């Protein structure tokens, strides 16, 4: 994962957390639905601004284990 993908993932995670709290989401299935919806919106935002989609990003040369 490169820096851009990491930042997008952190943004997605944070926005999902905020939405779960704000909307007082209860239940695993509802939480999964929110997670999926936020992920789609983050991907759309990346695409709309012309960013590189995560699956198009090159694999980093240095792999940390």
Q: Which residues of the chain are under the pLDDT cut of 50?
A: none
The dihedrals phi and psi of 57, each to the nearest 5 degrees, come to -75, 140
DSSP helix/strand/coil, 1:
coil
pLDDT at 50: 87
Q: Give me the pLDDT at residue 52, please.
A: 81
pLDDT score, position 4 = 83
* Structure-token match 């997008």, residue found: 8
Instruction: Extract long-range pairs of 15-21: CB within 8 Å, 24+ residues apart.
Output: 15/42
pLDDT of residue 58: 77
> Residue ranges of the domains in the chain?
3-54
């Amino acid at each position: 994962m490169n820096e851009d993908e990491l930042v997008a993932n952190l943004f997605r995670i944070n926005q999902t957390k905020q939405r779960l709290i704000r909307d007082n989401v209860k239940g695993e299935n509802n939480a999964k639905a929110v997670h999926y919806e936020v992920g789609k919106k983050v991907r759309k935002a990346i695409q709309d601004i012309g960013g590189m989609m995560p699956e198009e990003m090159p694999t980093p040369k240095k792999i940390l284990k």
